[in-house]
Amino acid sequence: MHASGGSGSWQCDVHGHVLPLRTVGSLTAEGLGGLLRRAAVPVWLPWPLPMAWLVTGFGGAGDERTGVRGCVVALSGPNPVGGPAEMLLVSEEPGVGLGAGFAGLDEPDPGIGFASGPPHALVRYGHHEFPLWHVDAPDRAAFAGEAMGNWLWLILWPDTAGMMLVDPLELRDLRDPGQELDLPFGARSPRLP
């Protein structure tokens, strides 16, 4: 990926115009606050966090001209079937490609045949349930759906960690006012650049 002339836009030799992903350097409430001020899409977090899970990173895809049009929150904790697990929650405008990139897909969206049957999982936000469908992804469990006009992706490593979605996951949008969450931060996720 490289800057395209003096326009301030970014180009990928394979995908054309792309939005750069910038991870937040400081895993603190202040670091997260910087992302929240620029986010044009939800910044999803399961809350309460699953038992013994930690927040391990966050970032936004966008530039100075467009703002942050895709957000990612990384978490880690115990896999329900044993061993460690990692989870990325991505919210993005259609066509950004952040979730598909983390899922290991070549296209920016879930692809042909997506959502052609009953959903495989549900998440809740407020009084709404949003369905998610399994997306074929290499060496991980990936689920995608639509929430409030944006793509919502949950990507988990290893693939057995997808068991976490047997019951609906309760989500919060960290941009919502009046939240005083004491987030437990862990070591930075190796899944984020």
Q: Give tens-digit pLDDT for 133-161.
A: 999 999 999 999 999 999 999 999 999 99
In-domain check, residue 4? no
Distance from C-alpha of 34 to C-alpha of 37, rounded to nearest angstrom:
5
In-domain check, residue 11? no
Which residues of the chain register pLDDT less than 50? 1-2, 4-16
Whether the Cβ atoms of residue 155 and residue 103 lie closer than 8 Å to each other: yes
Number of domains the chain contains = 1
In-domain check, residue 52? yes
In-domain check, residue 15? no
Residue-range definition of the domain harbouring residue 103? 20-173
Q: What is the pLDDT of residue 48?
A: 95
End-to-end CA distance of the chain: 13
In-domain check, residue 9? no
Partners of 9 in the β-ladder: 4
In-domain check, residue 187? no
In-domain check, residue 186? no
Name residue, tokens 């070591």: 187
Q: What is the pLDDT of residue 174?
A: 97
In-domain check, residue 99? yes
Q: Among candidates 9, 71, 7, which has minimal Cα distance to 37?
A: 71
Whether the Cβ atoms of residue 62 and residue 92 lie closer than 8 Å to each other: no
